[in-house]
C-alpha cells in the first residue's frame, strides 16, 4: 500500500534532515501505529504518504505510484486519505452530509452515486442520525468522525490519521478508535495512526517508533512495549499495566513479559495472587 525507499527529507537545505533513510512497507489491510516524541519526524513522514510532502532523497510509493509523479497526484490522494488533529480545521460545509459530499462532488461523481456514497460513509462512522445537523454543534468526537466520513467518501484504500484524538475527551477517543478498528476489520481499510496515546497503539497490528528521523522499532505492540526502560528513554510511555508488570518482573515476580492489555494483566496477576 505504502512503501518508502531510503526516504530522506529536510525543510531546507541548510537544516538537518528531519527524516533519514527511512525504509518501510505498509501492506494492504494493516493497522499500523506510528509513535515518536514531539519533533521526532512522525508527522513529516505521514505527509509523505499522500504526496503532501515530497522526498528530498529516496522514493515513496503510494498505492504503487511514485509520489513524485505529479500527473498521478489525484490518484494518490484518492487512494490515501488524511485526517488531522483538529476537526474544526477540516470541516468546510454547514450541514454534515454536505460536508461529507464535498470530495465526491469535486471529483465529479454523479449525484445518485454521491447520495449512496455519503449515506454509506456516514453509516460506517455511525453518524447517520446527524446528517442534517450543523457540524459546529457536534462534540469533538462526532466532528472527527465526520472528518473521517469525508475522507471515506473518496473511497480510499488507506487512511492516515495524524493524532486524531489529541483534542478529544475519553468518550470522543473511544468513538474514534472504535470507528478505526471497525473500518480495519470490517472494511479491510489500511489504517496508519499517528498517536501519543499508548493505550491506542496497543490496538494496532504493528507499532513503528520514530526518533530523530529514524525508525528505531518496528514490531507488534507486545514486543515493542516489552522493554519499558528503552521506551521511556525515547521520551515515550507505555500503558500503566505494561509498566507495572515490567516492574514486577524486575523485582523477581514470575509474571509474563509483554503484557499490554488490562485483560492480560488480570489473568497474570490472578495467577500470582492465587
Partner 1 sequence: MIIKAENISYTYSEGGPFEKEALYNVSITINQGDFVGIIGHTGSGKSTLVQHFNGLLKPTSGKITVCGIDTLDKKANLKKVRTKVGLVFQYPEHQLFEETVRQDIAFAPKNMGLSERETQERVMWAASLVGLTDEILEKSPFEISGGQKRRAAIAGVLAMQPDFLVLDEPTAGLDPSGREEILFQIKKLHKETGITVAIVSHGMEDIAKTVEYLYVMNKGEIAMQGTPLEVYAQYELLEKMGLDAPQITKLMKHVYGVNICTVEDAKEYILGVAHRA
**Interface stretch with partner 1, choices 23-31, 99-107, 147-155, 247-255 (CB under 8 A):** 247-255
Concatenated DSSP letters of 119-153: HHHHHHTT-GGGTTS-GGGS-HHHHHHHHHHHHHT
Place of cell 470530495: 103
Cα–Cα distance list, 174 to 71, 100, 130, 138, 239 (Å): 39, 21, 18, 16, 16
Q: In angstroms, what is the minimal distance from the CB of 172 to partner 1?
A: 7
Q: Is residue 265 part of the contact set for partner 1 (CB under 8 A)?
A: yes
C-beta separation of 146 from 91 below 8 A: yes
The CA distance from 118 to 111, in Å, is: 11
Place of cell 478508535: 177
Q: Is residue 74 part of the contact set for partner 1 (CB under 8 A)?
A: no
The CA distance from 113 to 243, in Å, is: 50
C-beta separation of 42 from 36 below 8 A: yes
Q: Is residue 236 part of the contact set for partner 1 (CB under 8 A)?
A: yes
Q: Which of 23, 185, 229, 235 binds partner 1 (CB under 8 A)?
A: 235
Q: Is residue 71 part of the contact set for partner 1 (CB under 8 A)?
A: no
Q: Which of 8, 17, 85, 128 binds partner 1 (CB under 8 A)?
A: 85
Q: Is residue 241 part of the contact set for partner 1 (CB under 8 A)?
A: yes
C-beta separation of 61 from 27 below 8 A: no
Q: Is residue 216 part of the contact set for partner 1 (CB under 8 A)?
A: no
Q: Which of 248, 256, 257, 258 binds partner 1 (CB under 8 A)?
A: 248
Q: Which of 8, 237, 256, 257 binds partner 1 (CB under 8 A)?
A: 237
Place of cell 509474571: 255
Q: Is residue 10 part of the contact set for partner 1 (CB under 8 A)?
A: no
Cross-strand partners of 208: 34, 218
Helix axis angle, 262-273 to 240-250, nearest 10°:
30
Q: Which of 17, 196, 230, 258 binds partner 1 (CB under 8 A)?
A: 196
Q: Is residue 112 part of the contact set for partner 1 (CB under 8 A)?
A: no
Q: Which of 65, 107, 223, 244 binds partner 1 (CB under 8 A)?
A: 244
Q: Which of 134, 171, 188, 219 binds partner 1 (CB under 8 A)?
A: 171
Q: Is residue 198 part of the contact set for partner 1 (CB under 8 A)?
A: yes
Interface residues with partner 1 (CB under 8 A) are 36-39, 85, 139-140, 163, 166-172, 196, 198-199, 235-237, 239-241, 243-244, 247-248, 251, 253, 262, 265-266, 269-270, 272-274
Amino acid at each position: 500500500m505504502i512503501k518508502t525507499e531510503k526516504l530522506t527529507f529536510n525543510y531546507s537545505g541548510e537544516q538537518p534532515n528531519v527524516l533519514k533513510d527511512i525504509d518501510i512497507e505498509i501492506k494492504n489491510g494493516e493497522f499500523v501505529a506510528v509513535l515518536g516524541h514531539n519533533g521526532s519526524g512522525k508527522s513529516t513522514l505521514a505527509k509523505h504518504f499522500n504526496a503532501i510532502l515530497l522526498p528530498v532523497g529516496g522514493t515513496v510509493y503510494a498505492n504503487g505510484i511514485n509520489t513524485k509523479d505529479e500527473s498521478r497526484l489525484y490518484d494518490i490522494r484518492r487512494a490515501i486519505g488524511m485526517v488531522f488533529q483538529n476537526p474544526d480545521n477540516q470541516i468546510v460545509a454547514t450541514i454534515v452530509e454536505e460536508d461529507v459530499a464535498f470530495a465526491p462532488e469535486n471529483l465529479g461523481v454523479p449525484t445518485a452515486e454521491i447520495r449512496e456514497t455519503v449515506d454509506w460513509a456516514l453509516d460506517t462512522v455511525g453518524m447517520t442520525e446527524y446528517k442534517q445537523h450543523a457540524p459546529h454543534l457536534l462534540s469533538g468526537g462526532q466532528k472527527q468522525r465526520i472528518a473521517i466520513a469525508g475522507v471515506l467518501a473518496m473511497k480510499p484504500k488507506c487512511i492516515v490519521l495524524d493524532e486524531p484524538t489529541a483534542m478529544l475527551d475519553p468518550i470522543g477517543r473511544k468513538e474514534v478508535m472504535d470507528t478505526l478498528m471497525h473500518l480495519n476489520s470490517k472494511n479491510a481499510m489500511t489504517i496508519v495512526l499517528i498517536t501519543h496515546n499508548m493505550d491506542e497503539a496497543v490496538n494496532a497490528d504493528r507499532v513503528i517508533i520514530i526518533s530523530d528521523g529514524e525508525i528505531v522499532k518496528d514490531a507488534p505492540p507486545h514486543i515493542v512495549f516489552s522493554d519499558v526502560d528503552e521506551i521511556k528513554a525515547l521520551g515515550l510511555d507505555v500503558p500503566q499495566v505494561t509498566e507495572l508488570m515490567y516492574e514486577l518482573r524486575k523485582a523477581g515476580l514470575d509474571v509474563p513479559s509483554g503484557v499490554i492489555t488490562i485483560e492480560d494483566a488480570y489473568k497474570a496477576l490472578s495467577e500470582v495472587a492465587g
